Structure 1
Amino acid sequence: MGFLVRFLVVTSSLGLAVLIQNYRLLSRSLPAPQLDLNEYWGPGSAENYVEDTTVKPFNIKVNTELISDLKAQLSRPLKLHEPLEGVAFQYGFNSKELQNIIKYWRDTYLRKWDENEAFLNKFAHFETQIQGLRMHFIQVKPKKRRR
């Protein structure tokens, strides 16, 4: 065999070995992070914090001034970079899609905020406090399907 053929075989073998090793590294399962379940995550200091895990009913009510302010902020021009071609969301949120979402919120969703707020309040909303963080959640049970 000539030098060129041997060089190509060795180079191809090394390239294949690198690809296999990278695949193994990227596809392996990572261990779950170890978190302190008593750590304080809320705002301010944890010195005077007393945990209150009581689950309380919650109703969505947003002030109209806050909705007007949000509309005004969404109307301001954004300084966004053009997304990379053919990349979708692989390197972060696609700026063209972000423009579409902002336009939808500003021109469609927020214009009907009263209707949307009424729709959201049809569900059972609750809030509680866990490790200093205020948690808001919805409890919706699925309807049983008939067979």
Structure 2
Amino acid sequence: MNAAFLITPKSEVKFVYDYWTMRQAMEKMEHYRYSSIPVLNKKGIYVGTLTEGDLLWELRDNEGLDFQGTREVLLKEVPRYRDIKAISIDVEVDDIIETSLRQNFVPIVDDLGVFIGIIRRREIISYLLELRKEQHFDLNDVK
């Protein structure tokens, strides 16, 4: 079964652009209380996921960079330490479930790599719980 029914569309997802500054990303992440956020380029192509850790490592590794200086550092210059790959909208639910074990959300792209949304771990868990109810499926039997 295709995973499209689990997607939260781009219009409902908070994200940042790689031409934004560290400061802009930090403010957005703080406002929404996010520990990670998708990063897009000007064309809407998913380029990665920025984490709080990425921002902290950038501050640590750049002697002299202080909070005020984060207004000058573009996100495309900030290394991302985890390579969170996007998945095609056509992927099967099982592949999404496996990927969600390693991250809170799975970025979803179309055939051209354009970001179209995310699938959150909570939607996957809700789907599995619903499946369990419908099929009287016991999660204790899953190995």
Q: Same fold (TM over 0.5)?
A: no
More strand by share: 2
**Bigger radius of gyration among the two:** 1
Category of TM-score, reference length = shorter chain: under 0.3
**Superposition TM-score, scaled by structure 1 size:** 0.19
